[in-house]
Each structure stands twice: as structure tokens, then as C-alpha cells.
Chain A
Amino acid sequence: MDTKPLSSTDVAVRGLTRRFGATTVLRGLDLDIAGGEFVALLGRSGSGKTTFLRTLAGLDPVSEGDVRLPATRAVVFQEPRLMPWKKVWQNVTLGLNGGDARERAVAALKEVGLEHRLDAWPVTLSGGEAQRVALARALVREPRLLLLDEPFAALDALTRIRMHELVSALWAAHRPSVLLVTHDVDEALLLADRALVLENGRIRTELKITQPHPRARAMMGFSSMRAELLSALGVDVDGTISKPADLSFCRKTDEVKSRRGLSVIHSA
């Protein structure tokens, strides 16, 4: 890996190794993210993408290696993880101090287009709305580093397109550094400055995407970049699978859906 450290580096990871019992998920991973850079991290199921993001979020400890991070970080998870007993605006202000917390929540919710749902209960939100609240909850903290853990995986295709536009606009307005973990090659190409593919616990492929925002699938070089990333993920351009198939992806998505369903029932 020849990631050249940029002048204003927000995230610097050196030799990060993470083991769960006998399995090594991350092996000596190196990564730099420049200030304000949007990085997409791709990888097959079980490649350690989420483990890496959790480490940056401070949810998993750093046992081997060196990680340097900005002080203000915020996470948007795969599922919204809103507190069902708190109204939308209270979910956004969770953990914030100061008397202007509500005004800040209102401003953040306005940015994601939900100022009319301030006092709604989370169970009444659609999947896309709930994820936008989660986005507002992250934004209101004005993070230097925004961590997105497959935040659109459980949304329908149309909602996902709108969320891509929203994230792109918010990133342009606030310029945090972003690490987006995703399965979706198109999503990475539409949003990120740089797409990385994680394999066997290290970053094996790096692709710079220099096309200006907002991007469309019709942009220059889209299909060749898409083919390159897909091939790094083990899928040939014509759709045949060159590496052993990993069908657990389908199962994982189902699990996400059932978890979302369960959390609704759980709060009933």
C-alpha cells in the first residue's frame, strides 16, 4: 500500500491488527484519511470492514497497532438506533449539553429535511426518515470524522438514491472527513474521493475518483472503475464470480431487515 500521508491528515492508522480468538480480522492495516476527504471502504462479508469502523468509533479497543483520530467523531449505524421513548429532536440532542441543544437539533433536522417531524415518536418514522434522524444526530455534533456503517443497506432503492444526494450535499456543506463502509460499488463511486477494497485484513485496492460532484452513473469512466472495484471484490464485469462465492451477503441483509423488524416489535 502506498497511501501517501497528506499534509493535513485527520486519520492515521498504522499496523492495526485485530484478532477474535484464532481468526485475525485485520492484519497490519495502514490508512490515512486527509482532512475533509470522503473515503469509501468496500469489502466482502467478513472482510473486517465493520470491525475497522468500530475501532475508529472507539467501540472496539486498539490492541495492536497505532491509531490517530480527531477528537470529534460521530457514527451512523446500519440501523438507526433511535431511542423509541425519545421524540425525534430529543434523539438528536442525546448526550449534548447546553441550553441551546434544542435549537441545534432543530437546525440539524432542518438540514436533513425533517423539521416537520421534531416531536414525532421514532416508531412513526419510515426507514428513510429514521436514518435521516440518525444522520442529524451525528451532524449536530459537528464531527471532524463522520463514520457511516452501511447506513443505506436496509433502505429501498429510491430512498437510497435520495439519501446519497443528501449525504453528498451535507458533506459538501460541512466538509467532515468521512469513512463510508459499504457493499455497494456504485454508492462508493457516486460519493467518495477514494474507494478502498479491504481483503484479508488489509487494503488491497485503492481507486481515486476525481470526477466532480454531483455525480451520475453516466459520468466518464464509471463503468471501468466499477469493473475494477468489482473485480477486486471477486466479481468479473460480465457478472461471473471469479473467486469463491460469498452468498452470506444475502443472508446478512435479511438479518438487518429482521433486526429492524424485531426492534419495532420489541418496543411494542
Chain B
Amino acid sequence: MIEILGNAMTDAAMQNSPDFLHKIMRPASRAVTPILILVAWQIASGSGLIPERTLASPLHVLGTFWSLIADGELQDNLLVSLRRAMEGLAIGVSLGTIFALISGLSRSGEAAVDAPLQILRAIPFLALVPLFILWFGIGETPKIALVALGTIYPVYLNLYAGIRGIDKKLLEAGACFGLNRWQILRHIVLPGALPSFLVGLRYAVGISWLSLVVAEQINASSGIGYLIMSARDFMRTDIIVVGLVVYGLLGLLTDIFIRTLEHRALAWRPSILKG
């Protein structure tokens, strides 16, 4: 809470700042160091300080990036990866939401659902990969299942906390103004828990890429992870770096997507109203 207040204060201070240039110059000044690192990397590669088999030069990576797009290899594998992530995410977010509603809305539901989920959560889900391969083979299923498993928890934990954190006074006001149980759920509980749900969703998207990296490096014949692993066999560090950059961009883009979603869905919040 204190952190949120702090952010709001710095935002307000920035808006009131007469130094308008400061706002434009700040992103520019932040780009200086990454660019310098890229230039240093290029010089080190060009002079032979960093051998090609250790790490390809930025310009070489850029060239490979372009040729992978030109022959369609990158797009094909990207689509496969995206599909796995989205399918797993859809399953995981749905299950997480259902479990959170069950244990958030009733004490008996909490007793039934929360304890087993908390116990399972103690196991790092990536450790289940061997078991998943035994159960689901080496096709699409274990990869999607791994993403689904990893994304259940952030959605469950955040939405559950959001539902339980609803202001009791608002619930009382709702009952007082004649809302029935379903209307209280729809007009008070769900909108009130939405901010927490979106926090959970943002974590879930991050975890979906993480689990995909692991899943695609085991027994995959397509996908960005497969592209990276097969490049390793031929010591193609340029392709490996392209794969890493793609993973990074995917994370960045999905984060922007969720932020946009938050801005639209949570227009009533003071932090968004100020921005």
C-alpha cells in the first residue's frame, strides 16, 4: 500500500514538473547503457575477443534473425510455441479461477480446495516433467499440461486473496440495498476482486513462457525451444540468441497486453485516473 502511495506521489510530482524535457529525456537516457553494451559486444566479437562459438556478434544475430524470418522457420516455430502457451494458459487460468471461487466464496469450499492446493504448491511444478512424460508421452499434451499446472497457482492465490479481501462494509451495504447472493457476487465480489485477478494473470503469463522454455527443451520437434536446442547441436550461437530475444519480446508484449487490459478494466482506480 505504501509503495502504491509512493508511486502515485512521484507520478504527481512528474506531472507538475515544469521541466517537460525531463520526461522525454528520461527514456532516452535510459537507453544509453544498453546501446553501449551492444556496441562493446560487437567490437569484442569483431576483434575476436569473443569467439563465434561462444557468442555470435549482434550484427550476425540480426542477419540470422532476418533469414529465419525470410524462410518462415521463425514464424512456424513461434506459432507452435504461442499455441502451447495459450492453450496451457487457458486451462490453467480457468482452473485457478474455479478453485479460487470455490474456496473464496465458501468456508467448506476453502476446506476442500485450499489444503490440497497449498500442499501441491510446495512442489516446484517443473519437477513434475519426468512424471508428465511418463503419463502424457512426448507429444503436445505434456507441454500444455506443464503450462497449465504452472499457471493455476498465481491465479488461484491472487483471486482467492482478492475475494477474501473485499471490504465487509460494502458487502453489508449491498445486502442492505436488497441485493441477492448472485447480485452481490456480480456487483461487489467479482469487480472488487478483479484487480487481484489481473495481478495473478500477469504472473501466470510470465510463468507460461517459463514453463514453455523447459517443456520445449525436452523431446520437442517444433517451437522456439526446439529451435534453440537444435541450434546447440550445430553450435549456432546466433540462432540461440535469436531464440532468447524472441522469448524476451514475447514476455514484453504480453505484459503490455495485460497492462492495457488493466487500464480498460480498472478505469475506476485512483492510480489509473491520475495517469
Contact = CB atoms under 8 A, between A and B. Distances in A.
A242 interface: no
Interface in A215-268: 263-268
A75 B176 contact: yes
Given A123-B273, A137-B177, A268-B4, A83 B170 contact: yes
Interface string A70-89: 00001101010101111100
A95 interface: yes
Contacts of A83: 170, 187-188, 191-192
Contact of A263 (B167, B179, B191): B167
Nearest to A263: B167
Contact of B174 (A74, A94, A122): A94
Secondary structure call for the B interface: helix
B271 A268 contact: yes
Nearest to B175: A59
A81 B1 contact: no
B55 to A, nearest CB: 44
Given A77-B173, A83-B188, A266 B178 contact: no
A77 B1 CA distance: 25
B269 A267 contact: yes
A77 to B, nearest CB: 7
Interface in B170-194: 170, 172-179, 183, 187-188, 191-192, 194
B1 A95 contact: no
A79 B169 contact: yes
B176 A59 contact: yes
A58 B176 contact: yes
B177 A85 contact: no
A75 to B, nearest CB: 5
A114 interface: no
A124 to B, nearest CB: 7
A70 to B, nearest CB: 14
A84 B268 contact: yes
Contacts of B266: 85
Interface string A119-134: 0011110000000000
Nearest to B267: A121
A263 B175 CA distance: 19
A87 B268 CA distance: 8
Interface string A154-172: 0000000000000000000
A12 interface: no
Contact-residue size bin, chain A (C-beta under 8 Å from the other chain): 20 to 34
A124 B267 CA distance: 12
B8 interface: yes
Secondary structure call for the A interface: loop
B167 A123 contact: no
Nearest to B188: A83
Contacts of B49: none
A81 B173 contact: yes
Interface string B201-214: 00000000000000
B176 A268 contact: no
B5 interface: yes
Contacts of A74: 177
Contact of A95 (B5, B167, B179): B179
A123 B269 contact: yes
Interface in B244-274: 266-271, 273
A118 interface: no
Nearest to A93: B177
Contact of B5 (A57, A77, A121, A265): A265
B187 to A, nearest CB: 7
A45 to B, nearest CB: 19
B167 A266 contact: yes
A95 B174 contact: yes
Contacts of B175: 59
Contacts of A86: 187, 191, 268
B228 to A, nearest CB: 41
Interface in B1-22: 1, 4-5, 8
CB-CB nearest 3 A-B residue pairs: A81-B173, A85-B191, A95-B177
5 contacts: A74-B177, A77-B169, A141-B177, A265-B4, A268-B4
Given A75-B176, A86-B268, 16 more contacts: A59-B172, A79-B169, A94-B177, A94-B179, A95-B174, A95-B183, A122-B268, A137-B177, A263-B167, A263-B169, A264-B270, A265-B1, A265-B5, A267-B268, A268-B5, A268-B270
